[in-house]
Amino acid sequence: MDIIRTKSDLREIVNKALGKGQTIGLIPTMGFLHEGHLSLMRRARRENDLVIVSVFVNPTQFGPNEDLEAYPRDSEKDITLMRSVNADIAFFPDADDIYPYGYATYVQVEGAMAQTLCGRSRPIHFRGVTTIVSKLFHLAKPHRAYFGQKDAQQVAIIAKMIQDLDFDIELVVCPIIREADGLAMSSRNRYLTSRERSKAKVLSQALHSAQAKIKNGERSAAAVIQNITERIASVKPAEIDYVSVMDAVTLNDVQALRGKILIAVAVIIGRTRLIDNVQFEV
């Protein structure tokens, strides 16, 4: 596996691969890798000739009071994990290379899609996400880009950006990878104390309880939201940020459940903000 640190070196490798007719798979990450990331890499390995994994804690998606400096980093462990799944390129750019002095251009999906869910409490977050992802698309020139369903809003926004800006890229969305007790894997799980960690499983439990009710005939979004809210609120110290039932493509709220549905939650446990979701067809 080659470790690349500059845009120019990445472009050179990518252009050589394209010249040979190779297919390219890209997995954009912020590092501190776990099994969820590795599942994306394994699928990319099966489907592409060249697998590129980017590791970049992107400053433009963090607000003034968010955890940019505290965000966990472990490049040595990340490299070991990437090698374990036979990734070809590990791209570790510096912020000054990605956003040089005077940088002033951003990509943003307008409208409610980026302002709902996490966008309400993190107003600049998705502008940062779409900007860095579009830059990585231009640099890596992938045929396929791999993202996890855990970040459902991010996936919907990137899908919209790909469509609107005519990127010739297949968006591959992979299932949520969970711990044995159901907690969705996340780099932020390490912030939880042992007591908080035992409480955090309520997110997946509440979602799966609601999903079971839907399978048994429940079609009211309000009833589903109430069921999830009551289940999570019964666990202390869980503080609910949102519980939403939405159209999975447009992220518009729905009243009656039909079609492709996304149920998404964000909950603060202690000092850690966790997200989870389920998506299914009604």
22 is written with which tokens? 């190779």
| Catalytic option among 34, 37, 125, 208 | 37
* Residue 108 burial by Cβ neighbours in a 10 Å radius (0-12, 13-18, 19+): middle
Gap between the Cα atoms of 9 and 154, Å rounded:
28
Name the CA radius of gyration of the chain, rounded.
Answer: 19
Pairing state between β 272-281 and 238-247: unpaired
User: Residue 148 belongs to what H/E stretch?
Assistant: strand 144-148
Q: Tell me whether residue 208 is one of the annotated catalytic residues.
A: no
CB atoms within 10 A of CB 227: 19
- Asked if 229 contacts 243 with a C-beta cutoff of 8 angstroms, the reply is yes
- Asked if 97 contacts 53 with a C-beta cutoff of 8 angstroms, the reply is no
Of 98, 90, 79, which Cα lies nearest the Cα of 138?
A: 98
Catalytic residues: 37
